[in-house]
Amino acid sequence: MQVDKTTLADLSIFHSEEDQSVFHHLNFTQTNGGREYLRIFLGNPLNSISEIRDTQNTIQQLMAVSDQWTTTVTNGTIMVLEKFYETQVNNFSPYPTLFGSYWYKIFNGPDFSLIRYTVEHTIDFVNGLQYIVSLLQKQTLSRQLTIWVTRMDMLLNKPMILELSAEKKKDLSPVSILRYGGFIRNHFKGAAFELFDIYCKLDAYISMAIACKKYAFCFPEIKESEGPYIIAKDLYHPLLEIPVAYDLGLSINNNFLFLTGANMAGKSTFIKAVGIAAYLAHLGMGVPAKKMQLSFLDGLLSNIQVVDNIIKGESFFFNEVQRIKKTIEKISDGKKWLILIDELFKGTNQQDAVKCSTTVIEGLRKMKNALFVLSTHLYEIGDDLKKFDNIQFHFFETSVENDQLIFSYQLKPGISNDRLGYLILRKEGVVDLLEKL
């Protein structure tokens, strides 16, 4: 799936304030490397159904063992070993004697302490990985897990590693410490760093598994199809504490959703919920919905948070136009796309906005290779669009009771004509402030 940085920002996959990002919501990693791999995985949607299905299988199999996952392999353990390989220590014999070991311990105390500390952490590290291998080998594994488990088993199945893993840390003698320390330093470095890398990847995947389990995400059914489609039951935005669920149906014959509603009624949240679910599906992740089916999509583009560019002298409206232009050029390739547009042409006057919006919608709706979700405050253009069979109309209802705004956040069929801007202005006391000037 193709996706650009603007879309990733619009959907808050990543965010400058991290706690507002999807990444933060899914991050249960325990290592620095796992965190970075999770960032990489979330930033790179997959390019085939076979990859998506294998990733789904990987995450589901890790979900089944997540409660039994080892805690002996920690970020601290990996950092200790990495520091050991970076630190110079005085030389010692690869075949230490009893006398030589005590001599080294007395006259090279700091180095000996580092070696002992490293050996102890290496015991935890290899025991933790051996446990993971045995845990995962009990089930039929995905292609990716098979590769990792097979490689870990091969790297760990060495005589010295097996001997080391059987040791008890409290029983280590100075001779054993230097003997194992020499092996770790001189013969285990390549294997250690490869094992670090595999474990950090597993850490990222177990994080996704924990998230899917914690939030009760469903795994979508994704297929190749002649035309694009998305069908979702009880879809919701994953970052909301108390979300409202929506049902969604987009297909080649109803590929354009025209969305209206007052400010704050829920249009942007709905659009982002659709985008996030489609995006997570193409990562092989579970999605925030009770059930979801969709075609494999070649790309996802959004037009939600357009900004002006003072340095280039480009206005808000100009950048809106450029984003629409680039979108049209992109999706003219005949591939399957999902396009999300929130409040089209906010940067110009009402008359221009109506004309521009009508022109764009009437053009886009002819593209049968793409699915569109478009919101607008220009409800008056809806009536002229009802002649097109492939456009469906939904709105978010708002009511006023005792001068208070009531938002149901329920998606309903039809077109909204709510205009509540002045009411909000008055309710927030701005009108009173202005009258007192």
CATH number where 409 lies: 3.40.50.300
Provide the pLDDT for residue 19: 86
Tokens linked to 335: 């591939």
Same domain, 50 and 186: yes
The answer as to whether 25 is a domain residue is no
Per-residue tens of pLDDT for the chain, all 437 residues? 999 999 999 999 999 888 899 999 999 999 999 999 999 999 999 999 999 999 999 999 999 999 999 778 999 999 999 999 999 999 999 899 999 999 999 999 999 999 999 999 999 999 999 999 999 999 899 999 999 999 999 999 999 999 999 999 999 999 999 999 999 999 999 999 999 999 999 999 999 999 999 999 999 999 999 999 999 999 999 999 999 999 999 999 999 999 998 877 889 999 999 999 999 999 999 999 999 999 999 999 999 876 545 434 456 788 888 889 999 999 999 999 999 999 888 777 888 889 999 999 999 999 999 999 999 988 889 999 999 999 999 999 887 777 677 888 889 999 987 766 666 677 777 878 878 87
Report the phi/psi class of residue 48: left, alpha or beta, with left for phi > 0 and alpha for psi in -120 to 50.
Answer: beta
How many degrees, rounded to 5, is the angle at CA 66 between CA 60 and CA 67?
140
Parent domain of 337: 221-435
CATH number, domain containing residue 103: 1.10.1420
Residue 4 in domain: no
Do β-strands 230-235 and 299-303 pair in parallel, antiparallel, or remain unpaired?
Answer: unpaired
Secondary structure class of 419 (helix, strand, coil):
coil
SS3 label, residue 399: strand
The two tokens of residue 422 are: 């002045």
Instruction: Give residue 312's pLDDT.
Output: 45
Q: What is the pLDDT of residue 115?
A: 97
* Residue 3 parent element (H or E): strand 2-3
Could you tell me the CA-to-CA distances from 51 to 46, 68, 293, 301, 351 in Å, in that order? 6, 26, 17, 21, 48
Residue whose entry in the numeric block shows the structure tokens 């965010």: 15
Nearest to 253 by CA among 277, 225, 281, 276: 225
10 located within any domain: no
Q: Examine the fold and report which residue of 150, 181, 214 is the final residue of a domain before the chain moves on.
A: 214
Q: Are residue 130 and residue 192 in the same domain, yes or no?
A: yes
Q: Describe the strand order of the beta sheet including 221-223 as a list of residue ranges.
A: 221-223, 291-295, 230-235, 246-250
3-class secondary-structure state, position 277:
helix
Closest of 179, 128, 124, 180 to residue 152, by C-alpha: 128
SS3 sequence, 134-203? HHHCCCCCCHHHHHHHHHHHHHHCCHHHHHHHCCCHHHCCHHHHHHHHHHHHHHCHHHHHHHHHHHHHHH
Alpha helices by DSSP H, listed for 253-336, are: 267-281, 316-331
Q: What pLDDT is stored for residue 310 in this prediction?
A: 41
Q: Record the pTM.
A: 0.93
Do 247 and 111 have their domain in common?
no
- Report how far residue 118's alpha carbon sits from residue 105's, in angstroms, rounded to the nearest whole number: 15
196 part of a folded domain: yes
116 in any annotated domain: yes
Report whether 70 contacts 132 (CB < 8 A).
Answer: yes
Beta strand segments in 342-414, E? 370-375, 391-401, 404-413
Task: Check: CB of residue 395 under 8 Å from CB of residue 416.
Answer: yes
| Whether residue 343 is found in the same domain as residue 253 | yes
Same domain for 196 and 234: no
Q: Are residues 124 and 242 part of one domain?
A: no
Chosen domain end from 183, 214, 245: 214
The pLDDT value given to residue 71: 79
Total domains present in the chain: 2
Q: Is residue 11 part of a domain?
A: no
Same domain membership, residue 206 and residue 64: yes
- Neighbour-count burial for 68-90, b at 16+ CB within 10 Å, e otherwise: ebeeebbbebbebbeebeeeebe
In this structure, how many other beta carbons lie within 10 angstroms of the beta carbon of residue 435? 7
Judge if 299 and 380 occupy the same domain.
yes
Q: What is the pLDDT of residue 419?
A: 65
DSSP state at residue 254: B
pLDDT of residue 313: 41
Residue whose token pair is 């299988």: 57
User: Does residue 336 share a domain with residue 257?
Assistant: yes
In a domain, 142, yes or no: yes
Rounded to the nearest 10°, the torsion over CA 377, 378, 380, 385 is -110
Residue that has been written with the tokens 């590290």 in this structure? 125
